[in-house]
Structure 1
Amino acid sequence: MKTNIYIIAILFLIASWQMPAQAQFPSMGGSTQPKALPGTAGDQSPKGNAKITGSIVDSTQAKPIEFASIALYNKATGKAIDGTVADDKGKFTLSKLVAGNYEVLISFVGFRNKTIGNLTLTNGQSLDLGTVKLSANTKTLDEVTVVGQAALIEEKVDRMVYNAEKDITAKGGDATDILRKVPMLTVDLDGNVSLRGSQNIRVLINNKPSTIVASSVADALKQIPADQIKTVEVITSPSAKYDAEGSGGIINIITKKNSLQGLNLNIDSGVGNRGSTLSLNGNYRKGKTGFTLGGFGRGMYNTITKTNLDQTSRVGDVTTLTRQAGDGHMTGLFGQYNLGFDYDIAKNQSITAGVRYGVRNMNNQQDLITQLFTNGTLGSTSSRNVDSKNLSGTLDANVDYLHTFKPQQEWSMSTLYSRTDLTNNFDADLLNGTGELTGRQRNLNSNLNQEFTFQTDYQTPIKKNQLLEFGGKAIFREVNSDYKYLFAGPSGQFTTEVNNTLGELTYHQNIAAAYSSYTYTTKSRYTFKGGLRYEHTFIDASTREGGNLGVGDYGVLVPSINASKTIKGTTLKLGFNRRIQRPGLQQLNPNFNAANPQNITIGNPSLRPELTNNFELGVSKTIGKTFINATFFGRITNNAITQVSQPSDTIAGAIVSMYQNIGRQHAYGTNLFTNVAVTSKINVGVFLNAFYSSLTGQAMGLDKTSITMTNSGMNIGGGSFVNATFKNGWGAQAFGFMQGTQVQLQGRQGGFGFYTVGVKKEFNNKKASLGLAAENFLNNRFNIHTVLNSPLFSQVNDVYLYNRGVRLTFTLKIGKMTMDAPRKKAKSVNNDDVKSDGQQQSGGTPGGGQPR
């Protein structure tokens, strides 16, 4: 314990060392940074104590122009003697200038150059040029348009940014509809998200975590309206500043923010044959104070499912064949409501606070008919009518403070309290072969997940080309799960089943972390970003029946290295990082879900974290009107968490799946993406995800002893999209995606497809719009065909999803707003440290469940 404390102390001491901060720090990341300016390389000119400051904005939109070039010329000689680039807020500083007469030349691609002459500096003077407006260069307008289309995908040193603002078909949808179109991501028909084939990811919303995401990513995405999403950041190589959690990477969803003065209200609604939405979002800002109030609701209906399950299990000399057919449907209500407040305490200080409440109410009804054959002879036929309920309420409350000392030098404190109450129950009526009610079964499972987080971060520039970041974080987490199985006859009261007594899990997980990160940009525009992060996890886990589970504390040192270089328009990126993946609530919950008693799932509170080493090499280039990105990656995971299935010893023909640390998992592959701006109004994109995976783990053999199993193979998926805008406010979009089968330890999970087309018409100067979208309109259903095998069982599971749909959307903007200068807001807490099961907590359909 003392050793771990010493390590944290050493990290803080190393991080607290600083070289004198001098000038502002240019951006460390993207491929859009300009070349070095004349006069900056030699540092041979005399140094004084005067300086020139200012900010650069677009004259038409009043938005800051980041990375604009500023050159300082001696008026007498006409020679450039100094220069710099604007930061991401358009601000710049030329410091240590001697007295004299100067001219300043400001330039940026797509804008007319602007010269400010007759500038006379005296010793010690600080000259503020104020806001400098650049106007668009009409002669290069076509070129700028092409670049803008290519910027649908932005490459930065540690992430890829997808611009989602122009999505037409997503109107009336949710975040799932957006993420399906992001390169490197795969979203199945249930909303489960994978990054390069791994569901071990963290999803953040505006850099904030939420306990509902920790419980189920798929359910959380359904509560985020698609038309409120601005960008999606795919962070494949997270720096030390991020939590070490998320072996596959981090997805950060950035929603639209309003920096306008005044009052406005946006109304978004949609109605379709399978779902309807209504969203109201209001903003009010006056002076230093701003308020936001919003609500989003979505209803799901007419969601029909059919399942077929054939599985064979072998226990001793008895072979049992299970044949099962199921018919069902799902309904759901999702809502999210938020209240936000921000206040500028001073010019360089701000405070932000917010409360967000999310609600989920999902109901799944299914009728199952099951036949059991023992050694080839039909033994029994039974029916089971199941009603499952998946209910939750999530509360997030945050208070954040930011103090900016000068450009790129800032200190922040962030706090977050998050709570999720989750209910996951089912009731089942048991019928014999003639349809007579013989008994009733009930599973009650309530969960509570609470977190409190405190985080502090500091960053400061060192000279003109270096940035130092360091900070610390503490997370206090408590998970509780109460579960019981009750049984009753055809009538009468429920009583506790003999073989399943009351159960309870109490799981405390506290995390202390410290990090230090350093970024360096050379004069030839190489960018290097490296860091170290140490996290120590303290665990106290116990169950009512078994007492303390003996899950020990553990610490991990996490290095990260990222590098990028742009050579003649080609950007190269190289990255390495180590990640840790802690088990999430659904992996830990020991309640076994027997809504379908032939296909049972159960959590494992004794799970250990998995550790992953990630390597990646990325190349991107714009050739004329075409943007190309290719990433090659490798992922090596130890103690990989996955489901392992085996026959039940007590229920004839049943297969029990439990989360286990299986051992080793390797993945090597590539992500390819190309975007073509066919014209200034038509954009076409194609993407491909392909990787080879190999899994090695332990399973039960014929003699009931553990055996080593391996499985490997290719995993391939891809798709394409087309965006088009026309005159008079018309626009259209089409998108299609196909995912092949996925390798599992004990078999392969079935593939699926998805496609959608839509049109939109804008009215009244874009203050209103009407849209129509259709999805999967040529297919009545999709079949997800999953095959699992081991020495003791075989399983073939077909899940048929009927998701042909059409929806009509309407948007209205009310209110008059005026532009306000953008302000830097207080940063928020990032909890990237809990593994999600990636599945809806309804546990899938009882007639075979969701594919694993």
Structure 2
Amino acid sequence: MKRYLSFLLLLLAFGAQAQFQQGAPGSGTAPAGASVAQGTGRISGIIVDSTAGKAVEFASVAIYNKATGKPVDGTSADDKGKFALSKVPAGSYKMLISFLGFQTKTIDNLEVADGKSLDLGTVKLVSTAKTLEEVTVTGQKALIEEKVDRLVYNADKDIAAKGGDASDILRKVPMLTVDLDGNVSLRGSSNIRVLINNKPSTIVASSVADALKQIPADQIQTVEVITSPSAKYDAEGSGGIINIITKKNSLQGLNLNVDTGAGNRGAMLGLNGNYRKGKMGISLGGFGRANYNTPTKSSLEQTSLVNGNTIKTSQTGTGNSNGMFGRYNLGFDYDISKNQSLTAGVRYGLRNMNQTQDYLTQIYTNAVAGSASNRNVDTKNHSNTIDANVDYLRTFKPQQEWSISTLYSRNDLTNNFDANILESGSLAGRQRNLNGNVNQEFTLQTDYQTPIKKNQMIEFGAKGILRKVNSDYQYLVAGPTGGYSPQENNPSGTLDYNQNIAAAYTAYTYTTANKYTLKAGLRYEYTTISATANHTEINIPNYGNLVPSINLSKQLKGATLKLAYNRRIQRPGIQQLNPNFNTANPQNISMGNPYLNPELTDNVELGLSKNIGKTFFNVAFFGRFTDNLITQVRTPIDTLAGSILTTYQNIGSEHAFGTNIFANIALTPKISWNLFSNILHTTLQGKTTGVDGTSIDAKNSGVNVDFGSMLSAQLKNGWGIQGFGMMRGPQVQLQGRMGGFGFYSVGVRKDLANKKGSIGIAAENFLTSNIRIHTELTSPQFTQVSNMYMYNRGIRLTFTYKIGKMSMEPSRKKTKSVNNDDVKEGGDQNQQQQGGQQSGGGRSR
């Protein structure tokens, strides 16, 4: 650890030295080879973004002699976009204005006379991002932005968002698929990392689906889908990274937003306040959501071969669930100077999920029926999370900056159940599982970037993560009356898991005159692990990984062509590691595996984005090759008749090839139509462990398909309407296929006078009472057919109102923050639990 801290301190010292050597930030700097200006003329102006109308901070300005073409003088704009060149000799000049992310602006035929001032007024720079706004010629915000390493989906125009959560937005983002439980996959892979405002959270590491339920949909500004992360990001996620950016306030004054909604399945209330005066800003907000009236129904038919006996299980289940979700935040930011900023924040998340399930089970041994059993289960799945960060950013000159970021995150989870076993209608016994988990992280990160000449950028940085996971579980039994006591063949236990990561990276960006952009990087991560299970040491070796990434893009006429390669690492998460033996449903038991190793994935991608008339078109072809794949494996249990154990193993490899197609058609300036489709062929193969401990070859392959459409219209007098629908086909698993499903929604919204608020109505899946998910699993030792019925037909009314008076201020430099994105999401997106729980604090199904 001393070596890691020494490296970080060395980098901090470098940043301080760079600051000392640079001198006063924002001072004018002549271009290389420029002659020293000795005249008395003056040129001035203000540089702004042509779309947003906001100042472009620290843009570079240079003038060239018209006759010789040689540079004469140069400077950079200040934080308000203003620039001035003094002591300019009389003559004719050409001016070039440039900044990363904008097209270079050329102003020709500038005539300067001695002692005279030439005021150019407002100079507008055009963004280089290819957006739909360029072809629709409308004032509405662009839906899609295509960048060298990511696709940006602007979500703040979603009419149906009020009263929903982040999963409702992510369903509409190209390349993403979200199931009815909120599990997210990118190009068919659930091995992704989700960031919130570029920051991780321990609740996301525990369950992405649960984290998404805590984020109100109408507070999301954009969703970034990073399919080929650069070396700057942690080397996590074979599928990629999803970064959810929430709405921020850059206004002066005080305001308060009130959002509320209620429906037959849930209700919500949100309050968000912002205060900004001069250099200081404070934000305080809270969001609460209740889910209720959500019945569930399931059926299970499975046959297993154990010790020469054929055991058949038939089970039906009915139940109900309710939940409370909350997210509260306090934020502070302060501009120390025009080139230095400090940001701090504290966020608290709350999730309380309660579920009741009644199971009726009949077991047949060699076609002979045993006695039927009835089991009533109450499940409590609760968690609370706190994240605290302090971030500092120092800008030296345009695009040259140094940042240091810290983050502390803690998640306390409780995953318990109580079960009553009934025989002939009478209480025969009781069972209880108590499982508490604590997941803590501390992160220190520093980053530095600087331009090299006009068209190159270099970045490097270092990061340290100290991660500690603890799990304490007990399995208790009791008779119809009396106290609980431990069960000998299923004892209590503990897991203590410490993981430390030291990382360093460098990245290089180069843009050529003929519109090629190359972004290449190299990252090295070294991981040390110490773990004990039931106070017995687990031997997990330390490991180091070298992770390269290359992104190449070419700007064509109205099109962008991209080619990318990267390598990723996927570490197991707490839900895969936790050895708690979860028997909420004894026919479908779950358990983690603390001996898991990380998986490694190589990704290649070829993509094309093009404007064809009024249509924005994006298509990508990709391949994904994973070794040491972490996946769920199901095995019969020889000591418990008719039971299947679901756990995690490093089974072997996965090869996946696919394509994503997305199109946005601007039917009119006010009406747009989106179409998307994802097609993926995947092959999984490896070895699993049978009921008798023998090794079994396993292989499965097939095609996964999903497609959908969204129609949005902005009508007169503040009215808007939106419709969305998607279908997801069966998903390939190692031991079978999980059934598909459909989802659709309609929303209508009316803006109030002066857009101070809005009222709306939204409905989902209103034509059917439930959705059935049919799953078939097979192996040489068992077959399982299950159906899960989701009752999610819903309708809700929403209302939002803004209180307070605000005035615009120029955009501020964003402070960098910590991004931890190196842990595999706990739940398998393809998992089908029959009313039980995922191990280690996962949510109920």
- Above 0.5 in TM-score? yes
Q: Which residue of 1 aligns with 2:165?
A: 174
**1:383-462 correspondence runs (5 A):** 383-432=374-423, 434-462=424-452
| Offset at residue 556 of structure 1 (A) | 0.3
Q: Which residue of 1 aligns with 2:576?
A: 587
| Offset at residue 99 of structure 1 (A) | 3.4
Q: Which residue of 2 aligns with 1:275?
A: 266
Q: Which residue of 2 aligns with 1:28?
A: none
The alignment partner of 2:180 has SS state of: coil
In structure 1, what residue type is equivalent to 2:680? F
- Distance change in 2, residues 1:52/1:203 (3 Å): farther
Does 1:292 pair with 2:261?
A: no
Distance in 1 between residues matched to 2:510 and 2:548, nearest whole Å: 16
**1:259-658 correspondence runs (5 A):** 259-432=250-423, 434-544=424-534, 547-658=536-647
| Offset at residue 369 of structure 1 (A) | 0.3
In structure 2, what residue type is equivalent to 1:564? S
**1:743-782 correspondence runs (5 A):** 743-782=732-771
Distance in 2 between residues matched to 1:726 and 1:107, nearest whole Å: 39
Distance in 2 between residues matched to 1:439 and 1:465, nearest whole Å: 73
Which of 710, 720, 733 in structure 2 is aligned with 1:731?
Answer: 720
| Offset at residue 145 of structure 1 (A) | 4.1
Distance in 2 between residues matched to 1:96 and 1:148, nearest whole Å: 38
Q: Which residue of 2 aligns with 1:158?
A: 149
Q: Which residue of 2 aligns with 1:34?
A: none
**1:22-171 correspondence runs (5 A):** 47-48=35-36, 55-57=46-48, 62-64=53-55, 99-102=89-92, 119=112, 132=123, 145-146=136-137, 151-171=142-162
Distance in 1 between residues matched to 2:336 and 2:727, nearest whole Å: 51
**1:812-851 correspondence runs (5 A):** 812-838=801-827, 844-846=833-835
Distance in 1 between residues matched to 2:74 and 2:313, nearest whole Å: 72
Q: Tell me the matched-pair count.
A: 826
Distance in 2 between residues matched to 1:722 and 1:764, nearest whole Å: 25
Does 1:661 pair with 2:650?
A: yes
In structure 2, what residue type is equivalent to 1:417? Y
Contact 2:79-2:338 within 8 A present in 1 as well: no
The alignment partner of 1:639 has SS state of: strand
In structure 1, what residue type is equivalent to 2:354? N
In structure 1, what residue type is equivalent to 2:357? Q
| Gapped regions of structure 1 (runs ≥ 5) | 26-39
Contact 2:88-2:112 within 8 A present in 1 as well: no
- Distance change in 2, residues 1:703/1:343 (3 Å): closer
Contact 1:214-1:835 within 8 A present in 2 as well: yes
Contact 1:620-1:629 within 8 A present in 2 as well: yes
Contact 2:306-2:636 within 8 A present in 1 as well: yes
| Offset at residue 838 of structure 1 (A) | 3.4
- Distance change in 2, residues 1:392/1:64 (3 Å): same
Does 1:192 pair with 2:188?
A: no
Per-residue displacement from partner, 1:128-149 (whole Å, max 9, x unpaired)? 978657999xxxx996643776
Contact 2:186-2:240 within 8 A present in 1 as well: yes
- Distance change in 2, residues 1:705/1:88 (3 Å): farther
| Offset at residue 199 of structure 1 (A) | 0.7
| Offset at residue 615 of structure 1 (A) | 0.5
Distance in 1 between residues matched to 2:603 and 2:43, nearest whole Å: 44
The alignment partner of 2:159 has SS state of: coil
In structure 1, what residue type is equivalent to 2:325? F
In structure 2, what residue type is equivalent to 1:731? G
The answer to which of 91-100 and 665-674 deviates more is 91-100
The alignment partner of 2:137 has SS state of: helix
Distance in 1 between residues matched to 2:620 and 2:636, nearest whole Å: 41
- Distance change in 2, residues 1:150/1:276 (3 Å): closer
Contact 1:389-1:842 within 8 A present in 2 as well: no
| Offset at residue 567 of structure 1 (A) | 1.2
The answer to which of 701-710 and 668-677 deviates more is 701-710
In structure 1, what residue type is equivalent to 2:631? T
Contact 1:292-1:340 within 8 A present in 2 as well: yes
The answer to which of 638-647 and 697-706 deviates more is 697-706
The answer to which of 836-845 and 261-270 deviates more is 836-845
Distance in 2 between residues matched to 1:702 and 1:385, nearest whole Å: 28
Contact 1:737-1:753 within 8 A present in 2 as well: yes
In structure 1, what residue type is equivalent to 2:573? G
The alignment partner of 2:726 has SS state of: strand
Per-residue displacement from partner, 1:442-478 (whole Å, max 9, x unpaired)? 0000000011000000000000001010000000010
In structure 2, what residue type is equivalent to 1:247? S
Contact 1:47-1:97 within 8 A present in 2 as well: no
Does 1:806 pair with 2:799?
A: no
Contact 2:296-2:790 within 8 A present in 1 as well: yes
The alignment partner of 1:646 has SS state of: strand
Distance in 2 between residues matched to 1:549 and 1:319, nearest whole Å: 36
- Distance change in 2, residues 1:706/1:758 (3 Å): same
Contact 2:835-2:844 within 8 A present in 1 as well: no
Distance in 2 between residues matched to 1:162 and 1:616, nearest whole Å: 19
- Distance change in 2, residues 1:262/1:16 (3 Å): closer
Distance in 1 between residues matched to 2:703 and 2:133, nearest whole Å: 42
**1:685-724 correspondence runs (5 A):** 685-700=674-689, 704-724=693-713
Distance in 2 between residues matched to 1:668 and 1:98, nearest whole Å: 59
Contact 1:333-1:362 within 8 A present in 2 as well: yes
The answer to which of 90-99 and 229-238 deviates more is 90-99
Distance in 2 between residues matched to 1:683 and 1:278, nearest whole Å: 30
| Offset at residue 90 of structure 1 (A) | 8.8
The answer to which of 712-721 and 126-135 deviates more is 126-135
In structure 2, what residue type is equivalent to 1:533? R
The alignment partner of 2:161 has SS state of: coil
- Distance change in 2, residues 1:841/1:315 (3 Å): closer
| Offset at residue 778 of structure 1 (A) | 0.9
Per-residue displacement from partner, 1:150-203 (whole Å, max 9, x unpaired)? 931111111110010100001111100100000100000000000011111110
Q: Which residue of 2 aligns with 1:33?
A: none
| Offset at residue 840 of structure 1 (A) | 9.8
The alignment partner of 1:296 has SS state of: strand
Q: TM-score, normalised by structure 1?
A: 0.89
RMSD: 3.9
In structure 2, what residue type is equivalent to 1:473? K
| Offset at residue 14 of structure 1 (A) | 13
Q: TM-score, normalised by structure 2?
A: 0.90
Per-residue displacement from partner, 1:699-727 (whole Å, max 9, x unpaired)? 24587520211100100001000110011
| Offset at residue 641 of structure 1 (A) | 0.6
- Distance change in 2, residues 1:336/1:47 (3 Å): same
Contact 1:246-1:581 within 8 A present in 2 as well: yes
The alignment partner of 1:328 has SS state of: strand
